[in-house]
């Protein structure tokens, strides 16, 4: 099965920066889109940024001009560089990856979404 291991969360002052990383491992045949989502207390989980296997990106409006998503396909890793952080960025950030698993006998299984455990980002004023 797949594991998504996140790192880079923490507490920073407003205006500071963090770089989140998420590495996928397991019986992976291929990874399609990857993305970052966040969920603040009492709020719905929302998309922050997404990136295709070819490197095309999409950002939610709050992330534009401040955050940058990137990936290293050779390492099965997606990153989120967060600059100029604001208190309203405080949330649990989740990594998601659309992954097709290996199946030795019948071939690769259909792709499905896998989620990381989440990492807390806290921005203080």
Mean pLDDT of 63-71: 97
| Partner residues linked to 70 by β-bridges | 79
Mean pLDDT of 87-106: 94
Give the number of C-alpha atoms closer than 13 A to the C-alpha of residue 53, restricted to the C-beta side. 9
**What was the pLDDT predicted at 115?**
98
Which of 73, 92, 88 is CA-nearest to residue 20?
92
How far is 101 from 46, CA to CA, in rounded Å?
A: 26
Query: Are 92 and 38 within 8 A, CB to CB?
Result: yes
Mean pLDDT of 85-90: 97
Confidence check: pLDDT of 104 > 90: no
**What was the pLDDT predicted at 108?**
79
Using DSSP's 3-state secondary structure scheme, residue 1 falls into coil
């Amino acid at each position: 099965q797949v594991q998504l291991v996140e790192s880079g969360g923490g507490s920073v002052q407003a205006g500071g920066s963090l770089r989140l990383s998420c590495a996928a491992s397991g019986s992976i045949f291929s990874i399609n889109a990857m993305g970052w989502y966040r969920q603040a207390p009492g709020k719905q989980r929302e998309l922050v940024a997404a990136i295709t296997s070819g490197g095309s990106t999409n950002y939610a409006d709050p992330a534009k001009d401040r955050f940058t998503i990137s990936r290293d396909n050779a390492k099965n890793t997606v990153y989120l560089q967060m600059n100029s952080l604001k208190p309203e960025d405080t949330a649990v950030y989740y990594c998601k990856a659309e992954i097709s698993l290996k199946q030795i006998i019948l071939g690769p299984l259909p792709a499905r979404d896998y989620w990381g455990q989440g990492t807390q980002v806290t921005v203080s004023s």
